[in-house]
Structure 1
Amino acid sequence: MDITEQLRAFVATARAGSFTAGAEQLGISNRLASKYVAELEERLGTRLLQRTTRRIGLTPAGERLLADAPGVLDGLDDLLGAVSEQSRGFSGVLRISAPVTFGEVYLAEMLARFAAPHPDLVIDLTLSDAPTDLAAEGIDLAFRIGQLRDQALRARKLGEIGMRVVASPAYLERVGRPAKIADLTDYRCIHDSNHSAIPHWRHRESGEITTLPVPAQIRVNSASAACELALAGHGIAYGPDFVLGPEIAAGRLVSLFPEEMLLRIPIHAVYLDGPRLPRKLRALIEFAYEDTRPFRA
């Protein structure tokens, strides 16, 4: 058996903590992943994993191998990829994670443009507003909006997403336009609960970030849904410019307060730390950085 397949099975299993999860990342059966690791242990003449009924643990030899094996595999992928990409372009799978609305509205189309010149490249995009564990879930690259909390990850800042407070012209004609942000407490608001479980919106006041509780009759964990509700005249919504901007430009929504009063939230591309990034992942990060130039304007 090819030692590279044995190493891949070992690395995936060790990182995921089980043969089942490791096999799922590799797209092989649980039995085959176990067989590959057993063959690698036989080849090396030492036990790499401590198998229990609940979880897989590493022996000292396994810890030593896990420290260097991913870099060896990445280097091999780079070498083979550099040769094949000269004629065929990138190949294999890139597993991407992103928040739901950002993925639906912006990212999916961007990834399709990146993949278009590479017919042998597969993009596996998972959309979830819950934080993903890149190592456990086999994610190559995650897009995250907001302040980063995981210091173990490497990150490339792509820019900042501007927030907007909006309402439809018909709604404002019916109830009047708020003169200042504090007046929102007298209006019906639509709250995107991805920002906070408790309905409150953050803005800048005299250079300081301030939190304003709002009366949210409708709460929904989707910026797109909040936008649709605002378009239908159900109240005032607060959300990201990449969702609300086109509706403002078309005149279907009205931006209520100056940009400098509202927050700008950072967006990053994050990935696991390691000695070497695969060429296709480096290329995707650079592509995303160039494509998100408007977020840095």
Structure 2
Amino acid sequence: MDRLDGIRAFVAVVDSGSFTRAGQRLGISNKLVSKYVAALEGQQGITLLNRTTRALSLTTAGERYLIAARRVLNAVDELDAQARADDGMLSGRLRITAPVSFGEMFVQVLTADFLRDHPGAQVDLRLTDRYVDLAAEGFDLALRIGVLGDSSLIARRIGRTETWAVASPDYLAAHPAPRHPDDLREHRNIRDSNAPVAHRATFVIEGRAISVPLPGQITVNSAQSTRRLALHGEGIAIIPRFIIAEDVAQGRLIRLLEGFPGPQLDIQALSLPQPFVPPRLTAYLDHLRRNLTPALGKEPPRDS
């Protein structure tokens, strides 16, 4: 067995969660995948995977080996990509993660457009609202919205959005509409735990960014769940504009506090520092920057 075959099989098993799905991904039988992984373990003299009848899991040694294995495969892919780049053809796989709502509304469509233009490339798109460790989990790019913490990752702004305070007509029929952000203290607020501080919101008041409390009984970790609760009259919600713009236009939700805008939220693409940026990653980022802004209906970002 070529050691590279074993490494590819091992990473495919981890990423797909089973020998059968790894075989389907690699175009070989699950028995051959198992044989490759076992041979790799024999060569290394370590156990990489705990195998039970119900599940697979990485051993401690396997967790360490996985990080190095991804680097090896990335290096091999880059050698192939550089060779093809001279011919103007993009190739290789990109692993990308994005928030669920944003990914379903924009990223999956833009990714499909990108792949139509570059049939030699492949994209593994994972939509999740949890924080993803790019290095440990082998992702090339993470798309994130809002204020980011300190990080060694390379951040590129690809767009902007804003948040709107909204409520349903039914809720407002039973509760007076807030005229000032401080009035939110007297309302039921539906809070999104993806916000930097779920129980507070920031508004521009007399030219200054002021944080106000958001009392409420419901906190969820999904902008779409927040939207659905607002549609059902459960309270006031503060939601990214792109998620609720159509609801506001159709009158299903009413925009509140228009004279007190919330902060602009940067949409950023994060990647690991690396000496050589794969051509497919550069091309994908350029594609997002060109096409995301028109989709969001905002002016293009002026800086990077």
- SS of the aligned residue for 2:245 comes to helix
Q: Match of 1:261?
A: 261
What is the 5 A alignment of 1:7-156?
9=7, 24-25=14-15, 27=22, 29=33, 32=36, 35=39, 54-55=60-61, 73=76, 75-82=78-85, 86=89, 90-156=90-156
User: 2-side partners of 1:269 and 1:122: how far apart?
Assistant: 18
Q: Which amino acid aligns with 1:24?
A: V
Number of aligned residues: 270
Distance 1:192 1:185 in 2: 16
Given that 1:101 and 1:223 are in contact with CA atoms closer than 8 Å, whether structure 2 keeps it comes out as yes
Cα displacement (A) at 1:239? 0.8
Q: Which runs of 5+ in 2 are unaligned?
A: 17-21, 27-32, 48-58, 300-304
Map residues 112-261 of structure 1 onto 2, 5 A cutoff.
112-195=112-195, 198-258=198-258, 261=261
Structure 2 CA distance for aligned equivalents of residues 132 and 84 of structure 1: 34
Tell me what 2:55 maps to. Answer: none
- Which letter maps to 1:265? L
Q: Deviations over 1:175-219 (max 9, x none)?
A: 222111111111222112221575222222334333222222332
Mark the CA change 1:82 to 1:198 in structure 2 (over 3 Å): closer, same or farther. Answer: closer
SS of corresponding position for 2:60 = coil
Change (3 A) 1:69 1:223: closer
Alpha-carbon distance change, 174 to 33 in structure 1, aligned in 2, over 3 angstroms: same
User: What's the secondary structure of 2:233's corresponding residue?
Assistant: coil
User: Structure 1 pair 70/149, CA: closer, same or farther in 2 (3 Å)?
Assistant: farther
Question: After the TM superposition, which of the residue ranges 101-110 and 117-126 deviates more from structure 2?
Answer: 117-126
Residue matched to 1:293: 293
1:201–1:192: structure 2 CA closer, same or farther, 3 Å change rule? same
Where 1:216 maps in the other structure, the secondary structure is: coil
- Alignment root-mean-square deviation, CA: 3.5
The 8 Å contact of residues 181 and 257 in structure 1, kept in 2 or not, is answered as yes
Cα distance change, pair 284–172 in 1 and its aligned pair in 2 (3 A): same
Deviation at 1:31, TM superposition (A): 5.7
Verify the 8 A CA contact 1:71 1:275 in the aligned structure 2.
no
Change in 2 beyond 3 A, CA 1:198/1:57: closer
Q: Which string of whole-angstrom CA distances, capped at 9 and with x for unpartnered residues, describes residues 234-279 of structure 1?
A: 2211110110122222332221123653121222111111111222
CA distance in 2, matches of 1:101, 1:119: 26
Shifted more, 72-81 versus 121-130: the winner is 72-81
TM-score (normalised: structure 1): 0.75
| Change beyond 3 A, Cα 1:96–1:69 | closer
Greater Cα offset, 185-194 or 113-122: 113-122
Q: Quick one: percent identity of the two aligned structures? A: 34
1:9-33 Cα distance to aligned partner (Å, 9 max, x none): 3xx8xxxxxx955863595747635
Q: Distance in 2 between matches of 1:168 and 1:105?
A: 22
Unaligned regions of 5+ residues in structure 1, if any? 13-18, 40-48, 59-64
Secondary structure, aligned partner of 2:117: coil
Report the TM-score, using the length of structure 2 for normalisation.
Answer: 0.73
Shift of 1:228: 1.9
SS in 2 for 1:267: strand
Q: Is the 8 A contact 2:147 2:196 kept in 1?
A: no
> d(CA) in 1 for partners of 2:201 and 2:190?
11
- Please give the alpha-carbon distance, in whole angstroms, between the structure 2 residues aligned to 1:112 and 1:128: 18
Q: Secondary structure at the match of 1:290?
A: helix
Q: What is the match of residue 30 of structure 2?
A: none
C-alpha change, 1:207 and 1:21, in structure 2 (3 Å) is farther
Match of 2:54 in 1: none
Between the aligned partners of 1:184 and 1:177, the Cα distance in structure 2 is 9
